[in-house]
Structure 1
Amino acid sequence: MQKITSLPADDSMPGWFHTSPARTPRPEHVGQKKARWGIVGAGLTGLAAARQLALNFPDDEVVLIEAQEVGYGSAGRNAGFAIDVPHDIGAKDYIGDVTIANRVLRLNTLGQDYLRQIVQENNIQCQMSASGKYQAAVGEQGIAILEAYRRGLAKIGRDAEMIAGKDLPDHIGTSYYKQALFIPGTLLLQPSALVKGLADNLPANVTLYENTPITSVDYGNTITLMHERGAITVDTLILANNGFASHFGFLQRRLLPTFLYGSLTRPLTEAEQAALGGKPVWGVIPAHPFGSTIRRTVDNRILVRNSFSFQPDGRPREKHLRQFIENHRKSFERRFPMLPQVDFEYTWSGAICLSENHEGFFGKLAPNVYGALCCNGLGITRGTATGKLLADMIAGERNELIDFLTASPGPNLTPREPFLSVGVNSVLKWGQFRAGLEV
């Protein structure tokens, strides 16, 4: 019997969740249930796996279990960039091995295409926009990164346009940045609205239970997932719960649940929109990986996302939320002096699952247990793609991308506590300090 030692406990003001269309959550599970297929985690990976598994096995029931309400957890708390191109921060040109980069590009594109198809077929209102992304730099070090990245993108046949600082206000309003690399393939969207819409348009043979946190698991020929009001027994289990997989007994000391913090303003008035200028929808990724991500949304809000903390139990801390909102305020004021009266309406934390070697896990964890875990910050595209491909692999399919994923060595083993937390948080603080004015 595996006791689950930590459960999600996200803070209460995720802006994307509260500004997305309201929905009626599916009921929590009560009593006893048996099914052939079970999936833990109704984020992007779990939703994709459930959809594809249901299509591959139309005569079987697929049970999808979510500890909270769909759209409230990590999948609804990211910055809303569905990115196609690879970005290997360990390589000088941010591309590295061209063969691997091309496979990552195919993987991310698969995730994009799968989402785009579902959104269009089901008319999911998630503000999806083919707006591309701006990789923007404040100083000379950042500009050098952009130049290297442009050369790397050319190796894999991806066009990118370098935009001088004097021209950037026509694109993003602010004159804060000195140069930007515009990469056209990124989709921007409202992440909580996306996952809510995906959940409400699953195939008929998927049964979704929300607000059903699993408290223990009995692994064996069948797998029994227990919670406070009952139990669900399945023949095959898929874990799509990222950092919480370690609390289910797998990949222990290999997953790094790391929190990023975001703030979302109230909607800009017409006068404020005019004062800002630029395009009506855009997204900025920092040249330095520890800088600020900034977005202008379809509903005329500004998102600021920066600051990091590592929490091995996968649960955020209120003290960090209070601390980092000041960072958001400073970042906003530096970029948007023309918007002095615009306040933040929402501030929240959101977890990403990282590994020390930037590798995820894909495949079989144990008899009758599979996982698609650890997206290293690319949850929208990579999570969607790996969820779909895992369901295809279980159904017997093999292809180049499945082979690529199963060949991965998986996440590295990390030091024991307390050395792990001290080391990771020191790296995060040093990275944010080095980012300087890009924060």
Structure 2
Amino acid sequence: MMKVTSLPADDNSCGWFHLSRPRKPKPAHEGHSTARWVIVGAGFTGLAAARQLALNFPNVEVVLVEAQEVGLGPSGRNAGFAIDLPHDIGAEDYIGDIALAKSSLKLNLAGQSILRDLVDQHGIDCQMKACGKYQAAVEDRGIAVLEAYRRGLDKLEQPYQMIEQDELPNHLGTHFYRKALYTPGAVLLQPSALVKGLADHLPANVTLYERTPILEVEYGAKTVLKHANGSITADNLILANNSFGMRFGFLKGRMLPIYTYGSITRQLTSEEQAQLGGKPYWGAIPADPFGTTVRRTPDNRLLIRNSFSFNPDGRSDSRYNERFIRRHKASFDKRFPMLPNVNFEYTWGGALAMTRNHNGFFGELAPNVYGALGCNGLGVTRGTVTGQLLADWLAGQRDERIDFLLNAPGPNSNPPQPFLSLGVNANLKWGQYRAGRES
């Protein structure tokens, strides 16, 4: 029997969660039960795995366990980009090996397609817009990144448009940026609304338990998951809880729980919308990975997302929210000086499950224990498709995408503590400083 030494504990200030449709959480698990399939983690990966297992095994109960409320965790806290294109920041042209890039593109496109179909099928109100994304630059370094990425997109034969400084206000309203690379394939959405909607439209043979953190695990021929009010015995366990998979005894020292932080404004008035100008909704990511992501939402709010912290226990720390809201306001004021009276309504942090080599894990962790872990900032699309493909593989299916994931090298090992924290924190601090005006 091993104890789970750190449990999810996200702050309660996530704007996406509070601005999305309220829902009644499913009851927590009580007593002692058994199931053929048990999934831990009801984010994009876990929801996709549960849905597909239920379809592949229609006469079998699939149990999905979530430590918090659905939509409150990391899947509901990101910037709301369902990204299609690969973006390898370690490669000179940000594409790298063309065969790997094409495989990644296929996976991301499949994740988008799955989500679009589910949103259409169930009428999920999550502000989904297939409007593409801008990658915007201010500094010379950032413009060099855009030029390199353009060369990579040419190699990958993907469409794009390079937009110059004088044209950008017609797109984004702001005069802040010098250049942007627009790619049409990204989908923007309200992430917490999407996660809630997916959870409320699971197949009938999926049983979802919320507010059921697992405290102890016993591995063997069957896996026993113990919580405060009972236990669940699983013939097969699937971990879809990203960096918390390390707390269940797997991939120890191979994932990095990196938190990034977002703030969202109140709704803009009609007069403020006219002062801003530009398109009615859009999303811009920074050319520098440590810069600021900005969105204008369909309900006329502005999102600022930047700043990072390394939280080794994977848990939120409200002190960072208080510290970074000042940085968010400075970033907002630089970009939107025409909106001096617009303040933030919510500020929150959200975890990314990063790995040093940007590879996640897919497959068998131990006998009768499986996982799809480490989405490296692509949780919306990559989490969705890997969750579904894991369920297909467990049902005996194979295709080129499953083979690609099974044959991937998996996450690298991290250095030991305290060198890990020292190195990660120094890298985050230096990266944010070097981003300059992109921050």
The residue aligned with 1:376 is 376
Q: How far off is 1:72 after superposition? A: 0.3
The residue aligned with 1:437 is 437
Q: How does 1:63-78 map to 2 (within 5 A)?
A: 63-78=63-78
The residue aligned with 1:84 is 84
The residue aligned with 1:96 is 96
The residue aligned with 1:334 is 334
Give, in whole Å, the separation in 2 of the partners of 1:14 and 1:161: 33
What secondary structure, in the 3-state scheme, does the structure 1 residue paired with 2:345 have? strand
The residue aligned with 2:12 is 12
Matched, 1:286 2:286: yes
Give, in whole Å, the separation in 2 of the partners of 1:143 and 1:415: 33
The residue aligned with 2:312 is 312
Give, in whole Å, the separation in 2 of the partners of 1:419 and 1:150: 37
The residue aligned with 1:232 is 232
Give, in whole Å, the separation in 2 of the partners of 1:381 and 1:365: 22
What secondary structure, in the 3-state scheme, does the structure 2 residue paired with 1:330 have? helix
Q: How far off is 1:154 after superposition? A: 1.5
The residue aligned with 1:198 is 198
The residue aligned with 1:355 is 355
Give, in whole Å, the separation in 2 of the partners of 1:216 and 1:427: 34
Give, in whole Å, the separation in 1 of the partners of 2:337 and 2:407: 49
The residue aligned with 1:414 is 414
Give, in whole Å, the separation in 1 of the partners of 2:431 and 2:185: 27
- In structure 1, list runs of 5 or more residues that go unmatched: none
Letter of the 1:187 counterpart: V
Letter of the 1:286 counterpart: P
Letter of the 1:243 counterpart: S
What secondary structure, in the 3-state scheme, does the structure 1 residue paired with 2:208 have? strand
Q: How far off is 1:218 after superposition? A: 0.8
- Deviation string 1:270-302 (CA, Å, 9 cap, x unpaired) is 000000000001000000000000000011000
Q: How far off is 1:426 after superposition? A: 0.6
Letter of the 1:188 counterpart: L
Q: How far off is 1:2 after superposition? A: 1.5
CA RMSD of aligned residues (A): 0.6
Q: What fraction of aligned residue pairs are identical, expressed as a percent?
A: 65
Letter of the 2:324 counterpart: F
Give, in whole Å, the separation in 2 of the partners of 1:316 and 1:119: 30
Which moves more between the two structures, 215-224 or 314-323? 314-323
Give, in whole Å, the separation in 2 of the partners of 1:154 and 1:115: 27
Q: How does 1:289-300 map to 2 (within 5 A)?
A: 289-300=289-300
The residue aligned with 1:188 is 188
What secondary structure, in the 3-state scheme, does the structure 1 residue paired with 2:29 have? coil
Matched, 1:322 2:287: no
Q: How far off is 1:147 after superposition? A: 1.0
Q: How does 1:24-423 map to 2 (within 5 A)?
A: 24-423=24-423
Give, in whole Å, the separation in 2 of the partners of 1:402 and 1:10: 32
Give, in whole Å, the separation in 1 of the partners of 2:316 and 2:210: 21
Give, in whole Å, the separation in 1 of the partners of 2:34 and 2:51: 19
Letter of the 2:206 counterpart: V
TM-score by length of 1: 0.99
Letter of the 1:51 counterpart: R
Q: How far off is 1:395 after superposition? A: 0.6
Give, in whole Å, the separation in 1 of the partners of 2:120 and 2:224: 37
Q: How far off is 1:356 after superposition? A: 0.7
Q: How far off is 1:157 after superposition? A: 1.7
Q: How far off is 1:432 after superposition? A: 0.5
Give, in whole Å, the separation in 2 of the partners of 1:28 and 1:15: 24
The residue aligned with 2:22 is 22
Give, in whole Å, the separation in 2 of the partners of 1:255 and 1:187: 27
Give, in whole Å, the separation in 2 of the partners of 1:422 and 1:300: 40
Q: How far off is 1:240 after superposition? A: 0.2
Give, in whole Å, the separation in 1 of the partners of 2:140 and 2:214: 49
What secondary structure, in the 3-state scheme, does the structure 2 residue paired with 1:315 have? coil
Q: How far off is 1:139 after superposition? A: 1.8
- In structure 2, list runs of 5 or more residues that go unmatched: none
- Deviation string 1:236-279 (CA, Å, 9 cap, x unpaired) is 00000000000000000101000000000000000000000000
Give, in whole Å, the separation in 2 of the partners of 1:392 and 1:290: 36
Give, in whole Å, the separation in 1 of the partners of 2:115 and 2:154: 26
Give, in whole Å, the separation in 2 of the partners of 1:196 and 1:37: 22
Give, in whole Å, the separation in 2 of the partners of 1:316 and 1:68: 13
Give, in whole Å, the separation in 1 of the partners of 2:163 and 2:141: 16
Give, in whole Å, the separation in 2 of the partners of 1:53 and 1:304: 37
Give, in whole Å, the separation in 2 of the partners of 1:21 and 1:320: 27
What secondary structure, in the 3-state scheme, does the structure 1 residue paired with 2:166 have? helix
Letter of the 1:219 counterpart: Y
Q: How far off is 1:381 after superposition? A: 0.4
- Deviation string 1:185-218 (CA, Å, 9 cap, x unpaired) is 0000000000000000000000000000000111
Over 2 Å off, 4+ runs: none
Q: How many residues align?
A: 439
Q: How far off is 1:379 after superposition? A: 0.4
What secondary structure, in the 3-state scheme, does the structure 1 residue paired with 2:33 have? strand
Which moves more between the two structures, 406-415 or 198-207? 406-415
Give, in whole Å, the separation in 1 of the partners of 2:353 and 2:165: 34
Letter of the 1:261 counterpart: Y
Letter of the 1:156 counterpart: L
Give, in whole Å, the separation in 1 of the partners of 2:312 and 2:408: 23
What secondary structure, in the 3-state scheme, does the structure 1 residue paired with 2:260 have? strand
Q: How far off is 1:403 after superposition? A: 0.8
Letter of the 1:186 counterpart: A
- Does the 8 A contact of 2:139 with 2:436 survive in 1? no
Give, in whole Å, the separation in 1 of the partners of 2:391 and 2:425: 35
What secondary structure, in the 3-state scheme, does the structure 2 residue paired with 1:176 have? coil
Q: How far off is 1:39 after superposition? A: 0.1
Give, in whole Å, the separation in 1 of the partners of 2:140 and 2:180: 12
